[in-house]
Structure 1
Amino acid sequence: MAVGNETVIYFSEQVVVLFSCALSFLGSSLIIFTYIIFKDLRTTPRRLLVFLSVSDWLSAVSYAFGVWRVFHTDSVDCIVQGAISTFANTSSFFWTVAIAVYLYVFIVRSSQRVADSLELFFHLISWGVPLAITTAAVSLSKIGYDASEVSVGWCWVRIHAPDRVLWMLLTGKIWEFLAYLTLPVLYILIKRHIHVAHAALSEYRPILANRPQSHSFFSMADMKLTLIPIIFIFLRIWSTVRFILLLASSPARLNPVLVTLHGIGNTSQGTANCIMFVFFTQPIRTRLCTAFCCCCKCAAAGQHLHDDPQRLLPGQDPSTHREEDSTSRPLIDK
């Protein structure tokens, strides 16, 4: 699997990871697109999700470029790609935790004003800290060719840096570990609070609580709160496993299956968010289906009108149509 000090990335791994990058790119773009076109659905949590999607979008693009190129030297494009992916990946961790903190303050602490006031703080941390870390890493020549030791073709912390483990922690791993601990705790507390509130509602307002629609919305929210930390950990754990195996100097980190899972996991966050917050969110899903159906009907109507020129337009009088037809046919015949 390894030649010298370099992990070989097979073509099949490239194809799979590039496909994962494409899905994440489309998923992140769809989240941003729905926020722009549906003005009445622009809530603060969804705005925070858009900022997370911007990070995931950048990650997908930079990772795709790295996987496509599979760098072998500390070239300029390698350093640029490594810097962008480091910034975007670290920012994604911060925004993921920021959304959980916002929901905790809003739901458990029951303070929308305090939750909304945290948005500026989220921006300073989620953009500022990754930017500062990435700038320091690039300035000290820590970003570059890493021989795919803990990557899948893209560049990250230079393989020859004597303090590379420290910089791997600073440019991603330490924030990843903190997210592993923070997200489950926050979402468990949110779920517990919602369950208590729902139980109280069921006791004092049984008619409302027993409505199927009420149960449906509650079940979907409960499922999302369960899936968010589980999916995050499931996607990111493969990168963490390879990092631990690197620290242990284990050749198992070069296993093709583990490398492929690492590539898919690191590039699928945008896809996962799109599935949960677009396709599994009824208002967004309904709007998209309506818009898609309208486009299909308009296209079909236009094609049918093109195929059948004798068809009357809505509101057109038959006599007028015959008159137009009688005046236009001589011109055509000529």
Structure 2
Amino acid sequence: MVTVPPSSSHLYLTTSTITCVSASLSVLSGLAILWSYRQFPQLQNYTRQLLVCLTVADIFTAYGNFISSLRWFNNGNAAIINDDFCVAQSFITTTSTLSSFFWTTTIAIYLFCAVVLHVNIAEIYGVKVIIMATPVIVPVTVTSVALGYGVLGEDNYSGSGPWCWINSKAENMLMWKLVTGKGWEILTYITTLVIYVLLKFFKWRENRHIFEQVRWSDKDPSLRDADEIFEISWLFLLVARIWGTLRFFLATFEVCVSDQVNIALLCMQCVGDSSQALWNFFFFFTLDQELRGQICHRNVRSSTNRASSSEFIGALESYP
């Protein structure tokens, strides 16, 4: 794992710039998803509501990484010193990252129940309360315990980029990294992958029996056919965050690799850990045909209204 020496100002600058750009794009992309949910109520369903919750968590993560990058630009090499700002940022991003893992798993469980078990768990009040509360209560509790033990803070790039996570001077650092992030992240990879493999298998078996493609809206009226893209959400979560996970394993098992590889992984982590809302935008905004159609329809209608208004004003002005 890269442990950046105090003299590596150029690497600090590079990673902070990368994080700043990635996080900015992610925040803007996340806001676009929230805008689309608000503007097109006809496309709202429970899956999209869960996506909004996931996006809010990813926005907080990106924002925390962004302000931490600005902290380096403001303080220079002094930014590697632990302070209250660093602890606060660590609390925000650790909580939001854990929440993001829980929302991702929740979406997978919800879709599996709806498509395979034919049970809409969102219609069961007690289950729905648990679904909505767990991704908030558990992350806040875990991070609050870490805060109480004083382990949040500047980690000197030991597991993160130019943002703060677990204090590099904390005891049982490996345990705290697993409890406050990596353990839940790996569990999310495994859980969502297994669920989506099972989902694919049951869909393949049903398609084979009826000799036609099963539409998700036929399986559950509350689902949209466009929700099928959620089947690969585990994949772009993995692509976005695998770089930091690789750095974690390299450090844990003391695997020696070249400095070039370490730095490349660090830079990729700076891109990936701040870009989840951006990935959500690509897959759940730009690839959603219904949503694109609604936006195009609104733009055409708006252009037509403006043209009609201009013609009307022109006619009034020409009237003698």
TM-score by length of 1: 0.81
Segment of structure 1 superposing worse, 19-28 or 130-139 = 19-28
What letter matches 1:322 in structure 2?
A: Y
**Shift of residue 289 of structure 1?**
2.3
Contact 1:253 1:259 in 2 (8 A): no
Task: Give 1:181 deviation, angstroms.
Answer: 0.7
Report the 3-state secondary structure (helix = DSSP H, G, I; strand = E; otherwise coil) of the residue aligned with 1:111. Answer: coil
Q: Secondary structure at the match of 1:181?
A: helix
Q: Write the letter of the residue equivalent to 1:165.
A: L
Q: How far does residue 246 in structure 1 lie from its aligned partner after superposition?
A: 1.9
Match of 1:60 in 2: 62
1:80 alignment partner, one of 75, 88, 97: 88
- 2:204 aligned with 1:195: yes
Structure 2, unpaired ranges of 5+: 73-78, 216-223
Structure 2 residue aligned with 1:279: 286
Residue 186 of structure 1: which of 171, 195, 201 is its match? 195
Counterpart in the other structure of 2:251: 246
Distance 1:300 1:68, change over 3 A: farther
Q: Quick one: higher RCO (CA 8 Å, sep 6+), 1 or 2?
A: 2
The residue identity in structure 2 corresponding to 1:24 is S
The answer to whether structure 1 residue 129 and structure 2 residue 123 are counterparts is no
- Unaligned 5+ segments in structure 1 are 209-216, 306-310, 324-334
1:123: how far off? 2.0
Partner of 1:214: none
Give the deviation of 1:292 after TM superposition.
Answer: 3.6
Counterpart in the other structure of 2:75: none
1:92 to 92, 96, 100: 100
Question: 1:110: how far off?
Answer: 0.5
- Determine the structure 2 residue equivalent to 1:227: 232
**Residue 41 of structure 1 aligns with which residue?**
43
**CA–CA distance in structure 1, aligned partners of residues 104 and 276 of structure 2:** 10
Give, in angstroms, the shift of residue 233 of structure 1: 1.2
Structure 1 residues 281 and 157 mapped into 2: Cα distance closer, same or farther (>3 Å)?
A: same
Query: Contact conserved, 1:245 with 1:253, CA < 8 A, in 2?
Result: no
Report if the CA contact (8 A) 2:154-2:165 is conserved.
yes
Question: Secondary structure in 2 aligned to 1:267?
Answer: coil
Q: Which residue in 2 is equivalent to 1:261?
A: 268
2:60 is aligned with what amino acid?
L
Task: State the partner residue of 1:322.
Answer: 319
Is the Cα–Cα contact under 8 Å of residues 154 and 166 in structure 2 kept in the other structure?
yes
User: In the TM superposition, what whole-angstrom CA distance separates every residue of 1:194-250 from its partner, at most 9, and x where no partner exists?
Assistant: 2233333436x99x9xxxxxxxx97x766x255322211121111111111222345
- Say if 2:277 is the partner of 1:270: yes
| Structure 2 contact 4–156 (Cα < 8 Å) conserved | no
What amino acid does structure 1 have at the position aligned with 2:58?
D
Q: Which moved more, 1:22-31 or 1:75-84?
A: 22-31
d(CA) in 2 for partners of 1:253, 1:54: 37
Equivalent position of 1:109 in the other structure: 117
In the alignment of these two chains, the number of paired residues is: 300
Alignment-derived partner of residue 328 in structure 1: none
Return closer, same or farther for 1:7/1:143 CA change in 2, 3 Å cut-off. farther
Q: How far apart, in 2, do the equivalents of 1:185 and 1:51 lie?
A: 23
Does the Cα contact within 8 Å between 1:90 and 1:172 map onto a contact in 2? yes
Query: Aligned Cα RMSD in Å?
Result: 2.8
Aligned to 2:183: 174
Q: Corresponding residue for 2:13?
A: 11
Say which is worse superposed, 190-199 or 53-62, in terms of deviation: 190-199
Per the alignment, do residues 169 and 7 of structure 1 end up closer, same or farther by CA in structure 2, a change over 3 Å counting?
farther
Asked if the contact 2:47/2:227 (under 8 Å) is kept, the reply is: no
* CA contact 1:59–1:267 (8 Å) conserved in 2: yes
Maintained 8 Å contact 2:3/2:157 = no
The reply on whether 1:291 has 2:298 as its aligned counterpart is: yes
CA distance in 1, matches of 2:258, 2:181: 18
Cα separation, partners in 2 of 1:199 and 1:75, compared to 1, 3 Å: same
* Residue 28 (structure 1) aligned to one of 30, 41, 48: 30
1:7 and 1:183 mapped to 2: Cα distance?
A: 38
- TM-score, scaled to structure 2: 0.84
Amino acid at match of 2:164: C
| 1:59–1:85 CA contact under 8 A, matched in 2 | yes
User: Which has the greater radius of gyration?
Assistant: 1
Residue of structure 1 equivalent to 2:218? none
Note the 1:130-169 alignment, pairs <5 A: 130-169=139-178
- Paired with 1:109 and 1:243, the residues of 2 have a C-alpha distance of 37
Sequence identity (%): 26
In the superposition, relative to structure 1, how do residues 137 and 2 fare at CA in structure 2: closer, same or farther (>3 Å)? closer
Distance 1:313 1:200, change over 3 A: farther
Matched, 1:237 2:242: yes
Q: 1:14 to 1:5 in 2, by over 3 A?
A: closer
